[in-house]
Structure 1
Amino acid sequence: MQAHNPIPNPSAQQTRRATASGWIGSALEYYDFFIYAQAAAMVFPQLFFPAGNPKLAIVASLATYGVGYVARPIGGFVLGRRGDTHGRKHLLLLCMFLMGISTFAVGLLPTYHQVGVLAPIALVLLRLVQGFAVAGEISGASSMILEQAPFGQRGFYASFALQGTQAGQIFAAAIFMPLAYYMPADQFAAWGWRIPFLLSALVLAAGFVIRRKVSESPAFIQEDANGAVPASPIAVALRENWRDIVRIAIMALAAVIAMVATIFGAAYAVQPSYGIGFHANTYLVIPLVGNLVAVLVIPFVGKLSDRIGRRIPVVVGSLGAGLLSYVYLYAIASKNAPVAIVTSVLMWGVIYQGFNAVFPSFMPELFPTRTRVSAMSIGQNIGMALTALLPSLFAAMAPPGTKDIPFVIGTATLVISGFAALAAWTARETYRTPLDELGAPTRSSGVPSTRAAVGGEAAERAAAVTRSR
């Protein structure tokens, strides 16, 4: 029987460095990912698709956004495995290079009017690379932070990975807003939209400098030293933890809120064929303000989950945001920008963060160290792939000219978020379980075992002593 050595407690400096790396890296990668989202809603229908059918162009453009998520399950399998066999740091650097290069290339693409059908084909291919790359980002960053966080504070520290993604969306909107506002519409459509994509070269350089300095996760180093790293972590995860992989795939459907707020909502508000008539710059205020509030809310919700558990914030966040989607869509339909902004702040910036701030700790805590990145990558990215197809599906379900768009899309959003909440409620609680015991399911959902509680108290005392030195 192989001897088991306890995972060394991380120093305060290690915790801060891992958290900063996760935050900044996620912000930089999701800047890349979401500038595509803004462009897909605002300018790509006119640039990369035939001009004869504007309604079809909207659906096709939103579909290219969803294609990036289709590639995510493949990226989850490939990159998740590398995170469990080669380490978290290796994975995060690889993801950043793939994302930065593919995003920069989008800014160089010719349009449909220049090269015909080759333009949307090239766009789709680069979007597939983007989706493949981002598949390993959240699972890798969340695992890296989680495995270097003190016991009793994993929810707080892991939430910074998602705070980084929200900050990335702020950066994306902040780049597009002055361009859309100050540039003439024809110049913005001709070349102005390319600027945020070309800036990815700077994003890539900054991210590499930051991430190469972070230390590898002590938990992974311990697994590697003990010879416990499996040759095929995916096979082990699917054999031992397939129920939780399915569970987090359904939980990930709560991201329908982000899709409604940023993608379908943008097309509904801005595209001329819907007849709403929001100016592009006016609509960009909605995700910008919502994300600004989210950045402030996320750490508090993460810390709350360390006190009351992971399940309650996820359930409340999913269902509450689903209900508010009705109000948000009706505000857009009534052409009331102030109400749309306020509702977006409540729906996406506050309530939805119950899910968004907690899943970076909740999902990886369901799995052991040896398969953590693989299992989370597979489950979360399958769920995200299904969710990302929804903007295009919503556009097909309720095309321009449909009067009951808010009711139809709002109901679909609530039903989907309800499934996510149910999946979260059936999961076991993990916030009081020590790191080396995570991934071992118990019969009593939500109640930690005596061994876990005792081990957790000891780990918490040890971490407190380490932080005080």
Structure 2
Amino acid sequence: MEYIRTMTPDVTTTPAADRRSLRRAFAASLSGTALEWYDFAAYSVASATIFGHLFFPSGDPLAGTMAAFSTYAVGYLARPLGGFVFGRLGDRLGRKRVLVVTLVLTGVSTFLIGLLPTYAAVGGFAAILLVALRFAQGVGIGGEWGGAVLLSSEFGDPAKRGFWASAAQIGPPAGNLLANGVLALLAALLTDAQFTSWGWRVAFLLSGALVGFGLWIRLKLEETPVFRRLAELGERPSAPISEVFRDERRALAAAVLVRVCPDVLYALFTVFVLTYITSHTTLSRGQGLAAVMIGSALQLVLIPAFGALSDRVSRRGLTLVAVIAAGIWPFVFFPMVGDGSFAALIIGVLLALVIHSALYGPQAALVTEQFSERLRYTGSSLAYTLAGVIGGAPAPLLFTALLAGYDTWVAVAGYLAVTAVVSLVGVLMARDAK
């Protein structure tokens, strides 16, 4: 019965906020996560294209790519630490303070990646430094998501939580679009030698200016009405992590499982797709980046649209349909791009990211609604980060290993189908707050 108690909808208890504060919170949530995901996406693209050569040289290109993707996974493996540390602080000290720290941590880590020496200069120490900074990136993002979702949703009308909470969800495609755009522009303006030598660094060094902009927005915000009310009533938890694992285990399990498939789907169609098309089709890296950018641009509209749709229909029902579509689509996509058609690649990636939008738009509200108000930052952060370890972290590495081991895209598509079943279980365990 404890689960039922903590799952009581809070529609009548969440204070309304004035429109100006709401718009500021939406902008702060969107801009902060977009900037942090710019950092994360810049690394993701670089790991799929040039980091294997620069930091993990090997006579075998596959080994270099695998090593680069292993470092990519470190960013996900570090997220639970960020979720544990910053989730607890967010429920104890407030959303705003923690989100300022996570933004600085991720931004500074990314800026320093742009200054790193490569293997040619310092040998294996370069890889150690890269892994350390990637870890710091992951810690920052692990504490970012839960707070960014609450920042916008706790200022908004609970009846429209799907839309307002989607602000943080727009961040990944916005950051991905910006990172891919910068890297594509650099690749177009520079020769291959220039881009490999120093051009890639520009994308990482730009994060310094971007984080400054994000801080300017976040520092102007007030604390959310929900947290202020909890503080006034003396209801802030003293041990939020223990309480989540003791009293809201089913909520946590449901939220974790729901998130697995979207992470794997996104990794396949924004990261691994670049490796696949350049190694198994006649399509180029530039064409792959263009397809991802087009799909990401569309997501800027689709994610809040699906979030708003989930306010009108069952969030669980919408997620259920999208999960089934996610499990099926790779079996259509890979045959589509097999003949090297650029148009087919664009359509395939675009439709994959439409499906991802249907999963991702309602997800922020669906996850946070599983937890009681006083434990939402901790519970949401733990769900987000633990799902990343299960889903997003090993995905590019497993995709690469499966393709190399079985020499067929069917193994890759089958793996995504398995994660769809996992998330389907999570949907069935979850509840609608309406």
Q: Report TM bin, short chain.
A: over 0.9
Following the alignment from structure 1 to structure 2, what is the Cα–Cα distance between the partners of residues 50 and 156? Answer: 45
Identity of aligned residues (%): 33
DSSP 3-state at the match of 1:399: helix
Which shows bigger deviation, 312-321 or 356-365?
312-321
Cα deviation, 1:88-134, whole Å, max 9, x if unaligned, reads 10111011000010000000111111111111111111000000000
- The CA deviation at 1:403 is 3.8
Cα distance, 1:151 vs structure 2: 3.0
2:9 corresponding residue in structure 1: none
The Cα of 1:308 is off from its aligned counterpart by 0.8
Q: 1:403 & 1:332 partners in 2: Cα distance?
A: 16
Q: Residue 311 of structure 2 aligns to a residue in which SS?
A: helix
Q: Which residue of the partner structure matches residue 271 of structure 2?
A: 263
- Once residues 277 and 181 of structure 1 are traced to their aligned partners in structure 2, the CA distance between those partners, rounded to angstroms, is 19
Q: Distance in 1 between matches of 2:228 and 2:361?
A: 27
- Mapped to 2, the partners of 1:56 and 1:6 lie a distance apart of 54
Match of 1:444 in 2: none
CA distance in 1, matches of 2:14, 2:336: 52
For the residue of structure 2 that corresponds to 1:269, the secondary structure is: helix
RMSD over aligned Cα, in angstroms? 1.5
Q: Deviations over 1:183-203 (max 9, x none)?
A: 111111111110010001101
Kindly indicate whether residue 175 of structure 2 is the aligned counterpart of residue 171 of structure 1: no
Distance 1:296 1:8, change over 3 A: closer
Pairing partner for 1:363 from 348, 360, 367: 367
Partner of 2:8: none
Q: How does 1:34-433 map to 2 (within 5 A)?
A: 34-254=41-261, 255-270=263-278, 274-348=279-353, 350-387=354-391, 388-399=393-404, 402-404=406-408, 406-430=409-433, 432=434
- Separation in structure 1 between the aligned mates of residue 27 and residue 191 of structure 2, nearest angstrom: 38
Contact 1:257/1:325 (8 A) holds in 2:
no
Contact 2:250 2:429 in 1 (8 A): no
Q: How far apart, in 1, do the equivalents of 2:289 and 2:85 lie?
A: 35
- The DSSP-based 3-state class of the residue aligned with 1:352 is helix
Deviations 1:33-70 (A, max 9, x none): 10000100010011001232221111111111111000
In 1, distance between residues paired with 2:131 and 2:244? 31
In 2, Cα distance between the equivalents of 1:129 and 1:298?
A: 28
Distance 2:432 2:315 in 1: 7
What is residue 36 of structure 2 aligned with on the other side?
Answer: 29
Larger radius of gyration: 1
Secondary structure of the 1:307 match is: coil
Q: Which moved more, 1:13-22 or 1:33-42?
A: 13-22
Give CA-to-partner distance per residue, 1:389-436, whole Å, 9 cap, x none. Answer: 121022112218x542x2110111112112112211321111x2xxxx
For 1:459, the equivalent position in structure 2 comes to none
**Structure 2 Cα separation of the partners of residues 275 and 312 of structure 1:** 37
- Deviation at residue 6 of structure 1 after TM alignment: 5.1
Residues 1:326 and 1:181: Cα distance change in structure 2 (over 3 Å):
farther
Q: Secondary structure at the match of 2:223?
A: coil
For residues 25 and 35 of structure 2, the distance between their equivalents in structure 1, rounded to whole angstroms, comes to: 15
- The offset of 1:165, in angstroms, is 2.2
Kept in 1, the 8 Å contact 2:145–2:384? The answer is no
User: Does the CA-based 8 Å contact 1:180-1:280 persist in structure 2?
Assistant: no
**1:210-264 C-alpha deviation (Å, 9 max, x unpaired):** 1111111111111111111111111111111011111111111111100111121
3-state secondary structure, aligned to 2:78: helix
Please report how far the alpha carbon of residue 277 of structure 1 lies from its aligned counterpart in structure 2 after TM superposition.
4.3
C-alpha separation between the residues in 2 aligned to 1:224 and 1:366? 21
SS at match of 1:153: helix
Deviations 1:6-51 (A, max 9, x none): 5532112221111111111111111111000010001001100123
Does the 8 A contact of 1:256 with 1:417 survive in 2? no
Q: Distance in 1 between matches of 2:421 and 2:295?
A: 22
Q: Distance in 1 between matches of 2:158 and 2:123?
A: 56
After TM superposition, give the deviation of residue 275 of structure 1 in Å. Answer: 4.5
Per the TM alignment, residue 166 of structure 1 is displaced from its structure 2 partner at its CA by 1.3
Q: Distance in 2 between matches of 1:211 and 1:411?
A: 42
Cα deviation, residue 208, structure 1: 0.7
Residues in 2 aligned to 1:135 and 1:157: alpha-carbon distance in whole angstroms: 20
TM-score calculated relative to the size of structure 1: 0.87
